[in-house]
Structure 1
Amino acid sequence: MNTRSFRFLDLIMAFFVTVLVVSNVASSAKIVDLGFSLFGIRLAFDGGTLLFPLSYVFGDILTEVYGFRASRRVIWTGFAALALSSLVFLLLRVLPADAEWEAYAGSAAYDAILGGMSTGGIALASLAGYWVGEFSNSVVLSRVKVLMKGRFLWVRTIGSTLVGELLDSVVFVFIASLTGVFGWELFASLVLTNYILKCTIEVIMTPATYLAVFKLKKAESIDTYDVGISFNPFKLQDRTVPPGGQSPDIP
């Protein structure tokens, strides 16, 4: 079991979880329409698309610096935070409303905007898309790092995002549409726009990712290579090289 304390891991996890929860609320709050089409598909996207890609940036940094096992714990922490936020919105939905609030806002407005987060729509879609996307992103980045012996960071950050964001977008929009949060007529538009915007943000953030990775590796004195570990997302303990340890098999 790893007992080493890291200076910045908790801070990164805090930002990671904050991005997840806020983007989850924004996804239910508003659909944005840019007013033009690409390949005949209208570019419309949920509000969370603007912020959620940052979770993949943090995910890349976590896996690159601290390794898959540390990233796995943070991903599960984010999953728990999303589930808790959904339970809170469910509790608020079933509690009796104040008369004055009902007069100027009302339960109908609450249900229209935030109800999906507590009734299985956005909540289920967000949890499923997040879980599939983040773990696939982390596994791809970790494996490619070992294969490429730590070279070409941009290849694995962008490549892993292309895989993770695609799975995330498809699963999220599919479940949200299946549960009635979004209309099926928006499916292709939301998937395409979500995917393009999220991947574009990842590419734009690449210089910042490089800087963060360089600074963190130097500050924490680590550069983790996931050699001989289990990529089982449900396994939280490994007996191999602890997170933060550099495998002697990789130069």
Structure 2
Amino acid sequence: MDLPSAPPVTPPRFLVPIAGLFSGVLIISLILAGKIAEIGGVTFTAAVIVFPLSYLFGDVLTEVYGYASARKVVWAGFAVQVIWIVSYGIAAALPPAPFWTHQQAFETILGATPRLALAGMGAYLVGEFLNAYVLARLKLALAGRFVAFRLIASTVVGQAVDSALFLTLAFAGTLPPAELVRLGVSVWLLKVGWEILALPLSLPLIAWLKREEGLDADDRGTDFNPFRLRA
């Protein structure tokens, strides 16, 4: 007698697009991080324009799909950054064509990429995993309530460590310590402020994804080791 077959498992429909957008934001951030801007006395790297989107996507991944899924996407984003820095190094080393006169401009604009990328990669890993860990733990502790509070709290922790690590690794020795501290506080406040301003977008997006995917991750029993790719 034939045994009844198990019902087909429907894979999440939006996980891959979100992961793709997440990785794209990381690469854009690496390129923009080389410019330091100042508006109204507030100093910040231009990456602040888009980098907080990675935390928004990280929040969505952890809240809807769970820490284990977010962990895989974070490592995938790290791999994309490695590909970018290696590709840039090869491209910069290639001899320019005689009629192409922009080699110096190319190196000037992207020349800081290796140090910035290495700093960004290290800070990104620590910051993203802290953000996901705090968010998942708070969700368990608060029984899934107070989503807005949990999103902000996880960002406060993750962005503080991310900003401090990135600025120290990327600009130590090139900027005075006092300026690094001022820049770090400014960037951190901007990122946290960005998270708060984005709540009218992130909260409905999370609620919509939970309905559409039929998912609301519960990380009870999850192994939170960032180096373990299995659930």
TM-score under structure 2 normalisation? 0.92
Q: What is residue 166 of structure 1 aligned with on the other side?
A: 160
Gaps of 5+ in 2: 1-8
Count of residues paired in the alignment: 222
Which residue is equivalent to 2:30?
24
Counterpart residue number, 1:106: 103
2:127 aligned with 1:127, yes or no? no
Secondary structure of 2:152's partner?
helix
1:143 matched residue in structure 2? 137
Q: Secondary structure at the match of 2:43?
A: strand
For residues 4 and 74 of structure 1, the distance between their equivalents in structure 2, rounded to whole angstroms, comes to 19
Kindly provide the amino acid, as one letter, of the partner of residue 53 in structure 1.
P
CA RMSD for the aligned pairs?
A: 1.4
2:72 alignment counterpart: 73
Contact 1:144–1:156 (CA under 8 A) maintained in structure 2: yes
Determine the C-alpha separation between the residues in 2 that align with 1:158 and 1:184.
30
Could you tell me which residue of structure 2 aligns to residue 91 of structure 1? 90
* Residue number among 183, 190, 208 corresponding to 2:183 in the alignment: 190
Is the 8 Å Cα contact of residues 177 and 184 (structure 1) preserved in structure 2?
A: no
Residues 124/110 of structure 1: CA separation in 2 closer, same or farther (3 Å cut): same
Letter in structure 1 aligned against 2:202: T
Q: CA deviation at 1:221?
A: 0.6
Q: Which residue of 2 aligns with 1:153?
A: 147
Structure 2 letter corresponding to 1:51: V
Indicate the residue corresponding to 2:21 in structure 1: 15
1:231 aligns with 2:224: yes
* 2:202 corresponds to which of 209, 212, 221: 209
Q: Structure 1, residues 40-99: CA drift from partner, whole Å, max 9, x if none?
A: xxx211111111001001100110000000000000011111111111111111111233
Hey, what does 1:39 align to over in structure 2? none
Counterparts of 1:187 and 1:91 in 2: how far apart (Å)? 31
Question: Which deviates further from its counterpart, 93-102 or 75-84?
Answer: 93-102
Distance, in Å, in 1 between the alignment partners of 2:14 and 2:222 is 23
% of aligned pairs identical?
Answer: 37
Q: In the alignment, which residue of structure 1 is the partner of 2:5? A: none
SS of structure 1 residue aligned to 2:99: helix
- Partners of 1:89 and 1:115 within 8 A in 2: no
Structure 1 residue 184, shift from structure 2 partner: 3.1
TM-score (norm 1): 0.85
Give the AA of the match of 2:161: L
Paired with 1:198 and 1:114, the residues of 2 have a C-alpha distance of 24
SS of 2:143's partner is coil
Q: Which runs of 5+ in 1 are unaligned?
A: 37-42, 239-251
SS of 1:84's partner is: helix
